[in-house]
Amino acid sequence: MLHRCHVPPEAAGQRLDQWLEQALDGCSRSLVARCIRDQRCEMSAGKVKPGYRLRGGEVIDIEVPEIEPLAIHPETIPLAILYEDDDLLVIDKAPGMVVHPAVGHRYGTVLAAVLGRYGSCADDPQAPGLIHRLDADTSGVLAIARHPQALTYFQDQFRQRQVEKRYLALCAGTARSDWWTCREAIGRHPKDFRKRSVVPSERSGARSAHTDFRVRQRSPHYMAVEACLHTGRTHQIRVHLAHAGHPVLADAVYGRHGQWPLQGAPILQRQGLHAWSLGLSLSDGSFRRFFASVPADMAALVDPTVLNEGPVLSDGDQPAVASAKP
């Protein structure tokens, strides 16, 4: 999991590895050293060494691998429930809420809240009941299975691409086309451990990816774009929009800034990406779509007409311009 750490002034004089061990709950100094050795740690002050003495004010990016599943402890945390039956729970995940425990985020997760609500869930020790995932800063529809058989049933729909996934993205600039599609393969970025990137399909580790986009609103300096995911690669929408020259607003990894607007009081302080709707077949075979309202921070930048209409892309829609760069 990727972490961005801001070193406070009072940490001046501490060793980098010691401070990170304290700052990231569940992370050991040996694990920090491994991340540095594997070039998965960067610092604004320059070259990273475990024994570097902090000055205060540094910004550190570190990707900590999931060495082993962390225990999930039930917690009483409110969830915005969109649907619930004996097999499935669908929630509207709040921005900033981590889905499953990881180093630096052991508590306050979606799965801890689910266990607190039901006492048990599907028996995958690494991600009990988790049918799919959302980044911590991405809000919206998230589906969780309530027992192992349901987990298999719903995950099979994702693997066979039988689900409908619609996102709303606020992104920089303005596209020439109202519609476009991107089928560029995605893999790890060759230089930046934090990122995925568009890569040649024949490259080792490249995975096919397909996203359709439709512009729903054009405003000065940004657009509201509806995205239809046909595949589910890590950071797929963020990568494809950045590749098209329209990075998601307030996306500090694929864009240039972690807030929007750049001048004055920020409205967005997390990536402007929302899982707007999810369609799948319930256990009785009926197809059902679930919708999550756009959160206030993004809604403040979107025309009310767009918010009221909701997602409009359907699997039968074909982009007017089939181009990776609109």
Q: Which helix (H) or strand (E) holds 299?
A: helix 296-299
Residue type, 277: S
Q: What backbone phi and psi angles, to 5 degrees, belong to 41?
A: -145, 130
Q: How far lies 97's CA from each of 65, 66, 133, in Å?
A: 19, 18, 12
Contacts of 301 (CB under 8 A, 6+ apart): 170, 219, 222, 224, 249, 260, 267, 268, 272
Tokens 């980044």 belong to 135
What region, left, alpha or beta, does residue 140 occupy, with left being phi > 0 and alpha being psi -120 to 50 degrees?
Answer: left
Euclidean distance between CA atoms 143 and 83, whole angstroms? 9
Q: Do residues 227 and 140 lie in contact, with contact meaning Cβ atoms separated by under 8 Å? A: no
Q: Which among 31, 13, 192 is positioned nearest to 104, based on CA atoms?
A: 31
**Residues taking part in catalysis:** 135
CB 74 within 8 A of CB 115: yes
Structure tokens at 97: 């809420």
- Beta carbons of 129 and 122 less than 8 angstroms apart: yes
